[in-house]
Amino acid sequence: MDFDTLLSNGATLAPEVLLTPEGTKRGMAVKFDGSRIVGLGPLGDFPDATLLPGRAIVPGMVDAHTHVGQIFGKALIGGEPAQIWRRIWHPMERDMDEEQSYLSAKWAFWEALRGGCTKVVNYGLNNITKNAGVHRAALETGIRLVSACGLDEFSGEIGTGHGNKSWLEIKDVILAHIDHCDGQEVIKPSVCCSSFMGNTPETLAKLSSLCADKGILLQIHSNEHFPEVHECILRYGMRPTELLHPHGVLGPHVLLHHTTLVSEVEIELIVETDTATTYNPLASVWKGNAVAPALRFAQRGVRFGIGSDTTSADGFKNLMAAEACQRIEHGLPVADFSCGAAWTWVNASTSQGAEATGAAGDHGALAIGQAADFIILDMMAPECLPSHDFEWELVRYYNRDQIDAVVINGRLCMSRGEPIGWDTEDLRRDAMAVSTKITSAPDIVRCHGPSHLYRPSRD
């Protein structure tokens, strides 16, 4: 099957399965023209549709939280205790230049496309120079990007040297970032900050109101690790999300990352303010303290997406971890075998994930008027047959080698694992040449060392 021809403008496709906002549908066709879905309905209404037997079309997955500047260090974290940002990420990312940022981001986008992700929400304390590299990588690969602009008021050395700047200076940085993203259909601006650990509540309040005003996403790392929660209570007498609420920081334009250690009171504050969150199950397993109460979020109507947090950008691996972590945490102890059922995690990974990260009806679902962001899956692998319950199959049996095509904003970005329009060998050569320099920044500290040190001696 030649996807390049198949997916040319005005294509109408009739797969065996189409995953719509109403669930799994058979006998349907979807038509897209340019960047948009312009028709969707029963196959009989589309006599010219190209039949795709044995194929499923599902919305692209959204990586709702990752750090594209950290990709070359992803394998440094095995066995490391939480709060890795202090010991590995800050020293590693701090001095990256435009070219290094470009190579790191392009590598991250390559992994994301291979993993079935059509949208990546980047978190980084980035200045315009780093973002010039990140944006170039996004435009070359075609991935949909929520771009990061970073602020850290107290720690001037972090990221971009915004430290100790006046509010007017901080505001100028944000406005310049918004300008930098202007006119790019698949790149949207956002502001990133840690909660009280990097900014005063007053600054956070100003950031929130500016982001609301400009209609952009404010990303805040919140309630992730024990030391952070303890420090907030010691400093302010409140937990991190409790602190954000009275200062007016929370709201529908805010995306709280991790929220693993949230109390019932904090969950209700998130509900009351329609704040969105990200659930990062693999990050919890690989480098966290706890698992976010995502099942509770789902029950309370919290909009949440699933993030990789630079663990593995494989959307299917994250989907399986999302269900498995909730099952272990909440399902097993009470014999809840459904545990949110598959659709909760599929939604969080696709349409709800897009919505939580600022899509606002623009993309993320297979529906008329939405952007054509989707993946075509081969349903014929033995692991996926016979098919009885497609959403459970997506969560448990599908694998990234079944992704036939990745389409973003109507553009074919990957066909059978190979990116379209750029050369992977060039990237591999250039990226490997700089990755050692990036991952050997002098102040990187690995507490636990590599795995082989912990093998028992045979003497």
Binding site for Zn ion (CB under 5 A): 309
* Peptide bond between residue 386 and the one before it cis (omega within 30 degrees of 0): yes
Decide whether 16 or 228 has the Cβ nearer to Zn ion.
228
Shortest CB 184 distance to Zn ion, Å: 24
Decide whether 66 or 409 has the Cβ nearer to Zn ion.
66
CB 314 within 8 A of CB 113: no
In the block, residue with structure tokens 């260090």: 73
Shortest CB 222 distance to Zn ion, Å: 11
Sign of the CA dihedral with 321 first, then 270, 357, and 101 last: negative
CA–CA distance, 234 with 227 (Å, rounded to integer):
10
Shortest CB 320 distance to Zn ion, Å: 20
Q: Where are the alpha helices (DSSP H) in 38-156?
A: 84, 90-93, 98-114, 128-141
Decide whether 309 or 378 has the Cβ nearer to Zn ion.
309
CA–CA distance, 303 with 391 (Å, rounded to integer):
19
CA–CA distance, 386 with 397 (Å, rounded to integer):
11
Decide whether 82 or 379 has the Cβ nearer to Zn ion.
82
Decide whether 152 or 309 has the Cβ nearer to Zn ion.
309
Shortest CB 117 distance to Zn ion, Å: 16
Decide whether 27 or 78 has the Cβ nearer to Zn ion.
78
CA 375, 378, 379, 382: dihedral to nearest 10 degrees? -140
* Order of strands, sheet of 217-222, starting from the edge strand that comes earlier in the sequence: 61-66, 117-122, 144-147, 187-194, 217-222, 254-258, 276-279, 304-306
Shortest CB 66 distance to Zn ion, Å: 7
Shortest CB 257 distance to Zn ion, Å: 5
Secondary structure class of 37 (helix, strand, coil): strand
CA angle at 345 for the pair 413 and 324, rounded to the nearest 5°: 115
CA–CA distance, 363 with 369 (Å, rounded to integer):
9
What is the end-to-end Cα distance of the chain in Å, rounded?
Answer: 57
Phi and psi torsions of 444, nearest 5°: -70, 130
Decide whether 83 or 387 has the Cβ nearer to Zn ion.
83
Decide whether 255 or 359 has the Cβ nearer to Zn ion.
255
Instruction: Tell me the β-bridge partners of 306.
Output: 279
Shortest CB 279 distance to Zn ion, Å: 12
Shortest CB 134 distance to Zn ion, Å: 16
Shortest CB 129 distance to Zn ion, Å: 22
Shortest CB 190 distance to Zn ion, Å: 14
Q: Report CA-CA distances (Å) from 212 to 209, 244, 251, 253, 407.
A: 5, 15, 8, 6, 30
Q: Which residue is nearest to Zn ion (CB)?
A: 309
Residue whose C-alpha is closest to residue 16's, from 3, 6, 26, 5: 26
Decide whether 309 or 329 has the Cβ nearer to Zn ion.
309
Decide whether 89 or 297 has the Cβ nearer to Zn ion.
89
Shortest CB 145 distance to Zn ion, Å: 16
Instruction: State the DSSP code for 89.
Output: I
Identity (one letter) of the amino acid at 154? F
Say if strands 276-279 and 28-33 run parallel, antiparallel, or are unpaired: unpaired
Decide whether 266 or 309 has the Cβ nearer to Zn ion.
309
